[in-house]
Amino acid sequence: MTREVMLEKKIWAVIGANQDPEKFGNKIYHKLKTRGYEVYPVNPMYDNIDGDKCYKDLSSLPVVPEVIDMVVSPKRGRAFIDEAAKLGIKYIWLQPGTYDEELLKQIKGYGLQSVQACVLVGLISTSF
- Global confidence as pTM: 0.94
d(CA 90, CA 84): 7
The domain containing residue 66 runs over which residues? 2-124
Residue 63 C-alpha from the chain's centroid: 14
Tens of pLDDT, residue by residue, the chain (128 residues)? 588 999 999 999 999 999 999 999 999 999 999 999 999 999 999 999 989 999 999 999 999 999 999 999 999 999 999 999 999 999 999 999 999 999 999 999 999 999 999 998 887 665 54
Nearest-5° Cα angle at 60, 117 to 53: 80
CATH number reported for the structural domain that contains residue 80 in this entry: 3.40.50.720
Number of compact structural domains in the chain: 1
d(CA 84, CA 4): 20
